[in-house]
């Protein structure tokens, strides 16, 4: 029964093809190919992954975008484009023939959504933005950043792309495959990385430059004044070289918000610095296992080009301005800390 139905469907398509491309069927072909006269406004049409040409054609006809689904199926067969339809959302203007719409949907003229990813956002926060703008599902995105195929493609020595999702403004179609979104963002990151640290990336192993990205992700969360980013990077670099725990509050915030899924803390308490986690840079020496944010240009540049200093400590100097005091020893650091606290108490 299915075979007979399939053959009948094929015969119908052949008949349509003869009508479209044969002289005897010119008038009928011209009518079926022409744009429906009743449609005078743009129509939003979406193709999701896995949609067959038959379903696409039927949906186009149902929405009044084309006169006959058989014509589009015939065109797709003749042009060998049955698998060429591009996933995404399209704003289809009125007046297009079936042939023009066929070209429209196979050349990828999707309706693109502008989405801006802020510097320092984690993958979870990025996933929420993408889902809110209907580009891709949050869960699908978080699964895609752990795609083994993509990780192998870019030779990333980790099990996640956290840290390599470059903060930028992107143009994506709606209902875009999550892995394609990740691939695009990581490709952008690699381009920017080579611009900022091309020599380092070419001369050192993937683990070496990945470690710098982890460092950049910490610097990103610690600096506010761009001028201080290289100085903050130098503090952490000096601590790494001297096997001193980094002691970054940003790593504690990451544990609380991203791993424990708790609200962002207003301040970090001593008990928080004792949380048992490989991301706790107060009790563990060296870098966390993976980045704790997705760093932008300023932090990346600072991580690959830290200032040459002897600084081991830094503490807030002016919270409003986001500036810090930098020290070479604990005595000076403690004085700077006490000075800040005294000023804070005076203002309050």
Statement: residue 348 has pLDDT above 50: no
**Is residue 28 predicted with pLDDT exceeding 80?**
no
pTM, to two decimals: 0.77
Average pLDDT, the chain: 88
Say if residue 192's pLDDT is above 50.
yes
Which pLDDT score, from 0 to 100, does residue 272 have?
95
Instruction: Write the DSSP symbol of residue 123.
Output: H
Mean pLDDT across the stretch 255-265? 94
Tokens 């703008």 sit on residue = 133
Q: What is the mean pLDDT of residues 320-327?
A: 93
Least confident of 29-43, 127-141, 181-195, 310-324: 29-43
Q: Tokens at residue 68, please?
A: 């006959």
Q: pLDDT of 261-274, one tens digit each? A: 999 998 899 999 99
Residues 86-106: what's their mean pLDDT? 88
Whether the CB-CB separation of 310 and 238 falls below 8 Å is answered with yes
At residue 9, the pLDDT reads 45
Token pair of 214, please? Answer: 């982890």
Query: How many Å apart are CA 224 and CA 229, to the nearest integer?
Result: 8
- Average pLDDT estimate for 310-327: 94
33 HSE (CA, 13 A, CB side): 17
Residue 281's pLDDT is what? 98
pLDDT-based confidence at residue 26 (cuts at 50, 70, 90): low
User: Residue 184's CB: how many other CB atoms inside 10 A?
Assistant: 16
Judged against a pLDDT cut of 80, whether residue 16 lies above it is answered with no
pLDDT at 24 exceeding the cut of 50: no
Please give the pLDDT value at position 27: 65
pLDDT at 31: 77
Q: What pLDDT is attached to residue 298?
A: 96
Q: How far is CA 16 from the centre of its chain?
A: 44
What average pLDDT does range 323-348 have in this prediction? 82
Between the alpha carbon of residue 155 and those of residues 152, 190, 205, 216, the distances in Å are 5, 11, 10, 19
pLDDT above 70 (res 344): no
CA distance 308 to 244: 18
Round to whole Å and give the CA distance between 122 and 258.
8
With pLDDT > 70 as the criterion, what percentage of the chain qualifies?
A: 90
Tens of pLDDT, residues 76-92: 988 899 999 988 888 88
């Amino acid at each position: 029964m299915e075979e007979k139905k399939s053959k009948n469907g094929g015969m119908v398509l052949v008949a349509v093809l003869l009508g479209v491309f044969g002289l005897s069927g010119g008038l009928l072909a011209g009518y079926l190919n022409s744009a429906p006269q009743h449609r005078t406004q743009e129509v939003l049409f979406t193709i999701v992954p896995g949609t067959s040409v038959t379903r696409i054609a039927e949906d186009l006809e149902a929405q009044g975008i084309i006169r006959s689904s058989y014509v589009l199926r015939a065109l797709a067969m003749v042009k060998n484009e049955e698998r060429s339809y591009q996933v995404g959302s399209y704003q289809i203007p009125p007046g297009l023939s079936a042939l023009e719409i066929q070209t429209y949907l196979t050349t990828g003229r999707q309706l693109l959504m502008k989405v801006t990813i802020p510097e320092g956002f984690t993958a979870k926060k990025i996933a929420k933005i993408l889902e809110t703008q209907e580009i891709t599902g949050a869960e699908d995105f978080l699964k895609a950043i752990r795609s083994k195929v993509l990780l192998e493609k870019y030779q990333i020595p980790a099990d996640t792309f956290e840290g390599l999702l470059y903060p930028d403004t992107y143009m994506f179609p709606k209902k875009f495959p999550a892995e394609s979104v990740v691939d695009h963002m990581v490709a952008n990151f690699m381009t920017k990385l080579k611009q900022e640290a091309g020599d380092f990336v070419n001369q050192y192993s993937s683990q070496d430059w990945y470690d710098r990205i982890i460092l950049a992700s910490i610097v990103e969360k610690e600096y506010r004044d761009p001028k201080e980013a290289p100085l903050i990077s130098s503090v952490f670099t000096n601590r790494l070289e001297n096997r001193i725990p980094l002691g970054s509050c940003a790593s504690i915030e990451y544990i609380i918000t991203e791993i424990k899924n708790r609200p962002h803390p207003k301040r970090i308490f001593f008990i928080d610095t004792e949380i048992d986690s490989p991301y706790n840079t107060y009790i563990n020496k060296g870098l966390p296992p993976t980045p704790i944010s997705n760093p932008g240009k300023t932090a990346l540049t600072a991580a690959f080009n830290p200032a040459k200093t002897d600084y081991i400590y830094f503490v807030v100097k002016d919270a409003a301005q986001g500036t810090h005091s930098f020290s070479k020893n604990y005595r000076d650091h403690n004085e700077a800390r006490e000075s800040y606290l005294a000023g804070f108490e005076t203002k309050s």
